Amino acid sequence: MPPLKDNPALQAPKRNQPLFTPGTAANQALVVFVLGGPGAGKGTQCANIVRDYGFQHLSAGDLLRAEQDREGSEFGDMIKSYIKEGQIVPMEVTVQLLENAMTGAIEKDGSRKFLVDGFPRKMDQAVAFEEKVVKSRFTLFFDLAEEDMRKRLLKRGETSGRSDDNEESITKRFRTFVETSMPVVEWFEKDGRVVKVDARKSPEEVYEGVKAAFEKEGIEMKGK
Ligand code: C5P
Ligand code: MG
């Protein structure tokens, strides 16, 4: 395979500014990044936000798994091995998948509000996305201790069918989270763009924290 940066499938038109400015009008997009360790409850809470706030949910992990399984994908085997090892897939692929999903969703139903879940997990993804696609409004961060996350993931692994919900992959994913993904959260935090939510309690109680975070950021519920 040629180096990713030379791959024709990833050659988006050169831009000297992001595709969108932040917002919900024409040529705009409103992006909230959703981060937290593996098993912190990102996906569960995103479903609540979609229901009540009219956001679209784009999970970077789900998009990568779909690309991995897509017939004829030239990236399938590469993605598979990165996921199994709990490593971060080269950002060119993930940023392009997200951009395609956003433009597709805007064309399809006009919605311009996006929860980008499980992204950015590495500094280069954060920089590339904000330079090329749009500057995020803020990052919603789910805070939970590793032992609690491990318990949730092992429970999920009983039914999820995921290749990485097992002890060995979970340990690797935690290491990647601490070493590679937390610096991204700290970087956004320095920029005053992180809202932390305590993720220890029940999904209903955690959602109360999420609603408070959205209120703080001035994002209103649907139909208000
Ligand atoms: O978020 P989720 O747990 O579904 O991600 C599963 C895997 O997908 C990660 O462990 C990683 O291998 C890959 N991934 C990535 N970059 C992201 C999100 C996920 O490489 N931004
Ligand atoms: Mg998820």
Give the amino acid at 197.
V
In this structure, the residue with its CA closest to atom 19 of ligand 1 is: 61
Strand ranges for 43-179 from DSSP E? 56-59, 113-117, 138-143
Residue among 126, 132, 149, 140 nearest 40 (CA): 149
Residue among 94, 85, 90, 70 nearest 164 (CA): 85
CA–centroid distance, 38 to ligand 2, in Å, is 7
Cis peptide before 120 (omega within 30 of 0): yes
In this structure, the residue with its CA closest to atom 15 of ligand 1 is: 88
In the structure encoding, which two tokens stand for residue 38, read together? 């593996």
* Each residue's pLDDT expressed in tens, for the chain with a length of 224 residues: 556 767 777 766 678 899 999 999 999 999 999 999 999 999 999 999 999 999 999 999 999 999 999 999 999 999 999 999 999 999 999 999 999 999 999 999 888 999 999 999 999 999 999 999 999 999 999 999 999 999 999 999 999 999 999 999 999 999 999 999 999 999 999 999 999 999 999 999 999 999 999 999 999 998 76
In this structure, the residue with its CA closest to atom 12 of ligand 1 is: 83
CA–centroid distance, 28 to ligand 2, in Å, is 26
The answer to whether the annotation marks 156 as part of a ligand binding site is yes
From CA 8, how far away is CA 19, in angstroms rounded?
19
Residue among 99, 77, 104, 101 nearest 89 (CA): 77
Kindly give the number of the ligand 1 atom that is closest to the alpha carbon of 89: 20
The answer to whether the annotation marks 15 as part of a ligand binding site is no
Q: Does 3.40.50.300 match the CATH number of domain 28-215? A: yes
Residue-range domain boundaries for the chain: 28-215
| Residue from 33, 34, 64 whose mutation best tests the ligand 1 pocket (most atoms within 8 A of CB) | 64
In the structure encoding, which two tokens stand for residue 182, read together? 């937390």
